[in-house]
Structure 1
Amino acid sequence: MSLPDQQGRSSTAINGDDMIITYIGGGSRQWVPKFVQDMALSTLDGEVRLYDVNYESAQLNARFGNWVEIECETNGTWSYEAVEDLETALAGADVVITSTQFDPAETFVHDLDIPQAYGIHGAVSATIGPGGIMRAMRTIPLYRTFAATIREQCPDAWVFNFTNPVHFVTRALYDEYPEINAVGLCHEVMGTRFYLAHLAEEHLGVDATHDDITLNVKGINHFTWVDEAYCKGIDLWPLLEGYLDSEQANRVFTPTDLEDESVFVDNQQVTWELFRRFGLFPAAGDRHLVEYANWFLHGGEDTLNRWGIKRTGSDYRAKHWTPTDSKQTTDVKAWLDGEKAFELEPTHEVFADVLEALAGGDPFTTNVNMINTGQVSDIEQGAIVETNALVRANEIRPLSTGGFPRQIRSIIATHVDTIETVIDASRTGDVDEAFKGVLIDPQVRTLSPQDSRDMFAELVAAETSYLSEWELEASEVLAGSPEYE
């Protein structure tokens, strides 16, 4: 793949007073309601086209978006429309959002439960490891279609991907359309900024918010690291190093301690242990970090619990697909029908700020996932890396971050090799080539050769209906396992 000559710059300027945004995955139960609120509070105006295979869900979200414009005191002026056809939805768009997900009851359940039966206890199984790779294999062909259609209908659009696994999916967009202006966004680093602001307040007496924290961020999605941290110009490194010996950075948890906690609880014990061992501060939630630093997975849920992590079980995934049963997804209909009070408030996502800066507003710096053209000096160029970037009128420019200590670089390089192997395989739908990427994943390396093959075959067999773009019947790997039927 040739690298973009000038990464992150569109040939067409965005008009902040008349913007066209296409939302692929516009029936989303979680992200669209957040997006509507942030757009209403922004200084931008325009129209939003909501595209989703579940057209009725997109219609419901369009109704909600227009309702917010009427019922609430907004800054921006937006109209929302559900669109059934992808080409029509994308025609002439200035901005494209991709945020899609297959039914977790039919996919995530397998991603979590099948590897667990082989002794792999993924904490989330949505980013890396066998579950994350399967999610990528389901998703990549669809995103190749999106990228090809963007090339035809709105080639200069800014494309923002929120779909996990962010690095696989964003890489697929670039692989299909190398000139695409694609950016992967994730809020994990934001959580680190909130945490460091809290530490600065508590231990330095500084009145701080997450906006006061400045970090040098580098890594790959959900495995990002920091080697510089400041709060209002104050170097936080002495505080972090001194905190290593504190009781709070050396806690041991039991299953009982976590009984009433959410699966999203972050006790930062893995964060502090990795900082203690490698000298850089991790900037992602512990539940994601352990899937890369997979020695925290050995011993199953007991080990995860000891480090303050509550595993995301398949029962949770299935349940929280239904808004009425979930605190994670949003029941928009309850707001519209007056069964639940609605309050317009910011979500702390950066997307609206990014759009305002691209449209000529105040420049700012935030973390993004983009093609590596040298911003991370010792990670393969062409891979998707996560670093800070300067966002300003018509440009998102990744900032140079330097490299890594050998040990961290080794872990990242292995995962980049897995991602690139699966991306290569997806061009032709070669299942056996994709299996090579599975084999080199550190979680899978804990298995015997036959168990590796059988686990992969069982995952594929369970999700065949979602893998129609892969040449399953031509696979020697699948044919050699009794688990593939």
Structure 2
Amino acid sequence: MIYADNKVTDVKIAYIGGGSHGWAWTFMTDLARESAISGTIRLYDIDMEAAKNNECIAKRLFRRDDVVGKWDFTTVGSLQEALTGADFVLISILPGTFEEMQSDVHYPERYGIYQSVGDTSGPGGLLRALRTIPMYVEIANAIKKYSKDAWVINYTNPMTLCVKTLYHVFPEIKAFGCCHEVFGTQKILRNICELTTGIKGIERNEIFVNVLGINHFTWFDQASYKGIDLFPIYRKFIEESFEEGYHDPDRNWANGTFNCAHRVKFDLFQKFGLIAAAGDRHLAEFLPGDWYLKDPETVKSWKFALTTVEQRKVTQKERNERAVRLMNGEEDIELKPTGEEGIMLIKALCGLGRVVSNVNIPNTNGQIPNLPNTAVVETNAVFERNSIKPVVSGRLPEGIRDLIMPHVEDHEMILEAALTCDFELALKAFTSDPLVKGKLSEADARELLTAMIRNTIKYLPEGFKKYI
């Protein structure tokens, strides 16, 4: 990297999963709007054609007159090519295909187990982790070999286990996980504040929060806007609107399976006194199945949805069609703010400012003192030149800690099970997950896990084949 005139040039970024039709386009948009850093993006993907398509889309974008960023994009054929000399590494991959996800999310429904996302916890989260962890072992080893000093940003789910694997393989790695679920809860607090106080024009990042928890099961124990404590405002809004919920005008729960009315958040606030800071679809999966995911009717009563894999396939088809239009010049990427902070964090790490944001990193500095230091936790951290300093967020209330600890313990078992191809250990984690615990007999649990492993065996290590 070259520093001059408050700009950083010749930044080298390796993008693993560079054929993405989600994060990659978001990343391009943010790069196009930023003039303080420039350099080269190396796109690597096992689907090389998808990466080349993104290279074409990016080159069209960066030739536009309204683009201020200056970046070259190139597709490479190996991790070594992507990583050698990289300053930053982005990882955004889909472990497996939607066929594997179909099994992850919907096969357990045959046994009365419902999942609203299926990529982080529950049966789906476990199977996705078993596929993902071996991939991350390979990635971590390659980073250690070819770019050991690079900053590594993970966007892949299951976030916690992806980050945990990177540190397990390469303890000195400079990796962190980024997730926008906290941003969504800040926006809700902003909107409720505007509705109830009459203040207009509040920016999302003006809502100051203390973040503590694990990814997709995060909490705020403090939230304020310019000295205004938002907890009383939030509490009063819930008292008045609990049954109706909060309806985001842009994301009404009735108009899409990715949306919600935030009634799960409201209920958790009434139960525990802290603000749950993730989407209701994610939050529900960390809790006992009879709370919010007992059956489709219960889900509907809480005003969120079971996001089907068929819906994801429809979305992917639409993105594939859009990719063709973008490549052919029939459509342009709109240069509007994406709401993501990846570029801000990269700038801060390059020395262009100081940023406080929520990240997923190991609890080795005791950010949450009453969770194990081996856990990967989500808290705020301070980003400055070549430095991330995690914020000590404080202790979790015991009631919330009791909900989080089974998942922390499961993460340890799932990581070891994936690394050693240990079916019995995977089964132990499977049956102790709150969505499964007490719901199945031992025989049914074994039968279900065996079937799910069989359905995704193409993406699992050889050691699991003996169990099917």
TM range (shorter): over 0.9
Q: Cα deviation per residue 1:42-88 (whole Å; 9 max; x = unaligned)?
A: 22101000000010110111111121111142232100000011111
> In structure 2, which of residues 388, 395, 403 is the aligned counterpart of residue 396 of structure 1?
388
> In structure 1, which of residues 228, 238, 252 is the aligned counterpart of residue 222 of structure 2?
228
> In structure 2, which of residues 422, 435, 446 is the aligned counterpart of residue 430 of structure 1?
422
What is the number of equivalent residue pairs in this alignment? 454
**Structure 1 residue aligned with 2:296:** 301
Give, as a single letter, the amino acid of the residue that structure 2 aligns with 1:293.
L
> In structure 2, which of residues 132, 138, 163 is the aligned counterpart of residue 170 of structure 1?
163
Give, as a single letter, the amino acid of the residue that structure 2 aligns with 1:217.
V
Cα 1:470–1:383 shift into 2, 3 Å? farther
> In structure 1, which of residues 21, 25, 33 is the aligned counterpart of residue 25 of structure 2?
33
Give, as a single letter, the amino acid of the residue that structure 2 aligns with 1:238.
P
Asked if 1:209 corresponds to 2:200, the answer is no
1:259 deviates by: 9.0
TM-score (norm 1): 0.90
Extract unaligned runs of 5+ from structure 1: 1-14, 474-483
Asked if 1:417 corresponds to 2:413, the answer is no
**Structure 2 residue aligned with 1:461:** 454
Alignment partners' CA distance in 2, 1:250 and 1:282: 18
Aligned ranges 1:225-304 → 2 under 5 Å = 225-248=219-242, 251=245, 261-294=255-288, 295-304=290-299
Give, as a single letter, the amino acid of the residue that structure 2 aligns with 1:225.
W
> In structure 1, which of residues 85, 89, 93 is the aligned counterpart of residue 82 of structure 2?
89
Structure 1 window deviating more from structure 2 (367-376 vs 433-442): it is 433-442
Indicate conservation of the 8 Å contact 2:14/2:82, yes or no: yes
Cα 1:249–1:18 shift into 2, 3 Å? farther
**Structure 2 residue aligned with 1:343:** 334
Give the SS at the match of 1:344: coil
TM-score (norm 2): 0.93
> In structure 2, which of residues 111, 119, 122 is the aligned counterpart of residue 126 of structure 1?
119
Q: How large is the RMSD of aligned CA atoms in angstroms?
A: 1.9
Indicate conservation of the 8 Å contact 2:132/2:162, yes or no: yes
Extract unaligned runs of 5+ from structure 2: 1-6
Give the SS at the match of 2:255: coil
Give, as a single letter, the amino acid of the residue that structure 1 aligns with 2:345.
V
Give the SS at the match of 2:98: coil
Asked if 1:353 corresponds to 2:347, the answer is no
Alignment partners' CA distance in 1, 2:346 and 2:456: 37
Alignment partners' CA distance in 1, 2:173 and 2:446: 36
Cα 1:88–1:22 shift into 2, 3 Å? same
Structure 1 window deviating more from structure 2 (66-75 vs 209-218): it is 66-75
Give the SS at the match of 1:421: helix
1:197 deviates by: 0.7
Give, as a single letter, the amino acid of the residue that structure 1 aligns with 2:326.
W
Cα 1:292–1:459 shift into 2, 3 Å? same
Alignment partners' CA distance in 1, 2:30 and 2:430: 38
Indicate conservation of the 8 Å contact 1:97/1:162, yes or no: yes
Aligned ranges 1:105-184 → 2 under 5 Å = 105-184=98-177
**Structure 2 residue aligned with 1:5:** none
Give the SS at the match of 1:164: coil
Alignment partners' CA distance in 1, 2:98 and 2:207: 39
Alignment partners' CA distance in 1, 2:431 and 2:12: 43
Between the two proteins, what is the percent identity of the paired residues?
Answer: 36
Indicate conservation of the 8 Å contact 1:109/1:318, yes or no: no
Give the SS at the match of 1:403: coil
Alignment partners' CA distance in 1, 2:29 and 2:170: 31
Asked if 1:311 corresponds to 2:306, the answer is yes
Q: Cα deviation per residue 1:124-179 (whole Å; 9 max; x = unaligned)?
A: 11110001110000000000000000000000100000000100111111111111
Structure 1 window deviating more from structure 2 (156-165 vs 460-469): it is 460-469
Indicate conservation of the 8 Å contact 1:126/1:165, yes or no: yes
1:351 deviates by: 0.1
Give the SS at the match of 1:107: helix
**Structure 2 residue aligned with 1:8:** none
Structure 1 window deviating more from structure 2 (232-241 vs 284-293): it is 232-241
Cα 1:349–1:72 shift into 2, 3 Å? farther
Q: Cα deviation per residue 1:232-282 (whole Å; 9 max; x = unaligned)?
A: 2211111122222112565599xxxx9952111121100000000011110
Indicate conservation of the 8 Å contact 1:40/1:69, yes or no: yes
Structure 1 window deviating more from structure 2 (203-212 vs 147-156): it is 203-212
Alignment partners' CA distance in 2, 1:308 and 1:415: 25
Give, as a single letter, the amino acid of the residue that structure 2 aligns with 1:122.
Q
Alignment partners' CA distance in 1, 2:79 and 2:448: 35
Give the SS at the match of 1:244: helix
Give, as a single letter, the amino acid of the residue that structure 1 aligns with 2:313.
A
Give, as a single letter, the amino acid of the residue that structure 2 aligns with 1:460.
I
Indicate conservation of the 8 Å contact 2:219/2:277, yes or no: yes
